[in-house]
Amino acid sequence: MASETAPVRLVDYRVPDFLIDTVELDFHLDPKATQVKSRLAVRPNTEGVADLTLVGDELKLVSVTLDGKPLEAGAYNATSDSLVIRNVPSAPFTLEVEVEIDPSTNTKLMGLYRTGAAYCTQCEAEGFRRITYFLDRPDVLAVYTTRIEALKAEAPVLLANGNPQQSGDIPGTDRHFAIWHDPFPKPSYLFALVAGDLGVITDRFTTMSGRDVELRIYCEHGKEERCAYAMNALKRSMRWDETAFGREYDLDIFVIVAVSDFNMGAMENKGLNVFNDKYVLADPDTATDTDFANVEGVIAHEYFHNWTGNRITCRDWFQLCLKEGLTVFRDQEFSSDMRSRPVKRIADVRTLQARQFPEDAGPLAHPVRPEIYYEINNFYTATVYEKGAEIVRMLKTILGEDGFRKGMDLYFDRHDGQAVTIEDFLSAFHDATGVDLAQFHLWYSQSGTPEVVARGSYDPKQKTYSLSLKQNCPPTPGQTTKKPMHIPLRFGLVGPNGDDLSFSDATGARVEDNVIHLTEAEQTVVFSGVSSLPVPSLIRGFSAPVRLSVDLSPSDLLFLLRTDSDPFNRWQAAQTFAIRDLVARTGAKVRGEALDTNEPFIDALGEVAEADALEPAFRAQILQLPGEADIAREIGRNVDPDAIARARAELRISMAGRIGGRLAVLFDSLQSKTAFSTDAASAGRRALANAALDLMVANRDRAAIERVVARYRNADNMTDRLGALSIMAHAPLDERLPALADFEERYRNDPLVLDKWFALEASVPAPETLDRVRALMEHPAFSPSNPNRIRALIGSFASGNQTQFNRADGAGYDFLIDFLRDLDRRNPQTTARLLISFRSWRALETGRRNRAEAALKRLDAVGNLSTDARDIVARMLA
Ligand code: 0A1
Ligand code: ZN
């Protein structure tokens, strides 16, 4: 490992030597020189420790006093990243520290920084130390009081965590102040402050016990109307947490602020959530249905953190999934209740397979609860979030609805106000239900995606069906051998008429409520009393995050696609069929051979697309073929992205040829004659129309192209407009050029909408795209310091354009590395996230693999990389 910093290890965890009970902060805001005074009530927590060590990061100490007395020079030592006070009293004492910070040069967007003309903070994971010296670790919980003082004209709005206490003018000056008090003890990573000249919308919510809560959403002036959907989502989230989990909101006010410069999606600071504006602002003219769903999901996610993360927080950063996996599970459940449960599940599994599976299969694989890190910022991963949520979902499958709720209730009761571990979490479920979760715990410590192989055989004489099941988890960095895990497999034995067959008994594994509990490396389940040969439908609803290989014939798959009572597995059958075809087709392309069209499969897709009994959003999912990256993941080694693209295009062309006419009829029938609505059913019809149109243009059918051009031109909402434009860009059709120019012109003053355009420009699968991306970096709306712009243009190129990022000449890799080398000096977090586009480089064919490696090595050779970038590059090359 080329890293100079020492790693942090879970086994080294020790309780803090000191605790801090109260924190009084006083901010004197100034763009270039903000003064921060803190008064800390400190108390020793272990015996015999003489020195108090507080951490800092790029701080400048102004003064320090202990119990009111200035410290002499020899009594402390201050550097920009630590403040050590020697020989502190063994009884509680008060420490007062004043520092000066410069928000205007804070391009890392951690700590206190400027966004537009406003001030805002981001403290998770370790940003509070960029504001003042502190015990900046999540197991130090304190009650915060925050006073903010600023120029009235520059920052009429002054916000911090908790309830507002006092505010007013400072007589004889052009400044004013506000004091906020948060009565709930919290770790420093949940601290927040926002100040600026902002617009606001307000509302109210009455909690289940009758408490009145004021709700506010702040945004850039002029964007207030675009906050209405977020406010509505917030109120629905608050009500849902009461009914689904019995959790009520606890302060007098809940505030959301939308900012344009933010490294991540949003942040759950107590009572003062700060959001990337793309997850707040949404109206039909500027946001797609997917944007609306994302706003709803992220609003819910951050709100739900109030109980899972804030009231009960993490003991240390290794426990990150304790709050993230659980909160993702909660927001997924919320969205399922608000929309279609099967469609939400399909979308979530797509995300898991696209983001987490490759992570688990590559050099960045790590357990859901890691045991070592060099840079905690790099562990806000798909594994911690999405696989972490899958673990909670499996827990619910294993314990049942009631057992799960009992466990959650006990967890909330027992640990409110504490900073806890995964063991505490699992103990609550064990103690509430008596179920032994010792083996289940392995899901947190073993990395890698388990593979389950299933083989079935039917004995018509005995009327028994035997299902042999094997599990195996491939080696991952630092873990060569693995133990068998507890894998809950929801299943059905589908009979000839599509209904599940019953069975009288099952031996060889615990089988309960249509769930097989696979707990050993190999088990054979024998079902007796099975009246005829079944087709097994396994891992229904994706009941476990594993890769399943099952000996289903093509006709079995088409049968499940047409008849399975589990909608998820109908979709899965289509995906499995498609991916088998696409992998074989890619192989044929590489060998220069031809492969026949599978007409029964295409016909079955056509049938499902037309089936009015099924909801349109589901049919849209069925029509969406696996993407190029999905195919690459399935192939796994010696990947040739050009061959994959040609194979996928070939299948699409056959589909358009064979069912294009039927899809056109379907498309025309889906044209809305009523006013636009954001509801899930209307969104489903738009999604199906876009999915049908996307396939119809594959063979360049003139009538289909005319439809897509007209859809772009006549759209009365962003979903239709962007859907059409995206079809033109991805095909790619020549018609895209005037349409892209029109889109740029139409939305030139709207950065969030222009991001969609940057992203499409960067995803065009054509050789000129890299030059186009380079040119767009000079576009007046592009900013090399805004994370949203960077992700839209550079991120979409690197992760959304398989053939052009993976150009055979390596120019895509070199471009990204050059960009990141420069970005790393300004924003290490965003740099590290973009670097992840290289995570599957070892799976590429030799030529590309060598070029990717050379590019990574070039970055590795840079002397002054951030710890964020250094950590990712080192692991990627290890
Ligand atoms: N806790 C947040 C994620 C988050 C993490 C780090 C950040 O620093 C820039 C910001 C946000 C969540 O899960 O939403
Ligand atoms: Zn979260």
- Measuring CA to CA, which residue among 197, 174, 201, 28 is closest to residue 115? 197
Residue 764's alpha-carbon distances to 555, 696, 730, 802, in angstroms, are: 36, 18, 5, 10
Q: For a ligand 1 pocket test, name from 106, 307, 380, 866 the mutation site with the most ligand atoms within 8 angstroms of its C-beta.
A: 380
Question: Ligand 1 mean position to 610 CA, how many Å?
Answer: 42
Judge if the beta carbon of residue 268 lies within 6 A of ligand 1. yes
Enumerate the β-bridge partners of residue 41: 22, 94
Sign of the alpha-carbon dihedral angle for 316, 319, 320, 324: negative
Contacts for 809 with CB less than 8 Å, ≥ 6 apart: 851
The tens digit of pLDDT for each residue in 337-388 reads: 999 999 999 999 999 999 999 999 999 999 999 999 999 999 999 999 999 9
User: With a 6 A CB cut-off, is 30 part of the ligand 1 pocket?
Assistant: no
CA-closest residue to ligand 1 atom 12: 267
Q: What's the pLDDT tens digit per position in 475-501?
A: 999 999 999 999 999 999 999 999 999
**C-alpha radius of gyration, the chain, whole number:** 28
The reported pLDDT for the residue numbered 4 is 64
Could you tell me if the CB of 380 is within 6 A of ligand 1? yes
Rounded Cα–Cα distance for residues 200 and 219 (Å): 6
Give me the residue label for tokens 């060590």.
53
386 pocket-lining for ligand 1 (C-beta < 6 Å) = no
**Which of 253, 114, 271 lies closest to 192 in space, CA to CA?**
271
Cα–Cα distances in Å, from 87 out to 43, 50, 52, 621? 13, 5, 8, 65
Distance set, CA 630 to CA 358, 547, 645, 840, 843 (Å)? 9, 13, 11, 12, 13
Distance 712 CA to ligand 2 centre (A): 36
Ligand 1: distance of its center to the CA of 143 in Å? Answer: 21
Cβ contact 83:56 at 8 Å:
yes
Nearest to 869 by CA among 8, 321, 858: 858
Which residue has a Cα nearest atom 9 of ligand 1?
Answer: 263
Task: Name the residue of 264, 302, 314, 319 to mutate for ligand 1: max ligand atoms within 8 A of Cβ.
Answer: 264
Quick one: which ligand is closest to 265's CA?
1
Phi first, then psi: give them for residue 43, nearest 5 degrees: -145, 130
Ligand 1: nearest atom to the Cα of 377: 6
- The Å distance, Cα 522 to ligand 2 centre, comes to 36
Low-confidence spans in the chain with pLDDT less than 70: 1-4
C-beta of 322 in contact with ligand 1 (< 6 A): no
Q: Is the CB of 113 under 6 A from ligand 1?
A: no
The ligand with the least distance to the CA atom of 380 is 1
Which residue puts its alpha carbon closest to atom 4 of ligand 1?
267
pLDDT of 1 = 41
Active site residues: 302
Q: What are phi and psi of 356, to 5 degrees?
A: -85, -40
Q: Whose alpha carbon is nearest atom 1 of ligand 1?
A: 267
Select from 108, 123, 124 the residue to mutate for testing ligand 1; criterion: most ligand atoms less than 8 Å from CB.
124
Q: How remote is the CA of residue 311 from the centroid of ligand 2, in Å? A: 14
Ligand 1 neighbourhood includes 331 CB (under 6 angstroms) = no
Nearest-CA residue for atom 3 of ligand 1:
267
The per-residue pLDDT for 3 is 47
For residue 567 the two structure tokens come to 């909608």
User: Residue 830: what pLDDT?
Assistant: 98
What's the length of the chain?
878
Q: Is 123 in the pocket of ligand 1 (CB under 6 A)?
A: no
User: Residue 187 CA: which ligand is closest?
Assistant: 1
Q: Which atom of ligand 1 is nearest to the CA of 110?
A: 9
Rounded to the nearest whole angstrom, what is the distance from the C-alpha of residue 386 to the centroid of ligand 1?
14
SS (H, E, C) 362-384: CCCCCCCCCCEECCHHHHCCHHH
Quote the longest CA-to-CA distance of the chain.
Answer: 98
Which ligand approaches the C-alpha of residue 273 most closely? 1
| Residue 298 alpha carbon, nearest atom of ligand 1 | 14
Atom 8 (ligand 1) nearest CA: 124
| Ligand number, closest to the Cα atom of 190 | 1
Nearest CA to ligand 1 atom 7: 124
Ligand 1 within 6 A of 403 CB? no
pTM (whole model) above 0.85 = yes
Contact 175, 150 (CB under 8 A): yes
Ligand 2 center from residue 581 Cα (angstroms): 38
- Residue 799's nearest CA partner among 315, 445, 359 is 359
Q: How far, in Å, is the centroid of ligand 2 from the Cα of 417?
A: 18
230 lines ligand 1 (CB under 6 A): no
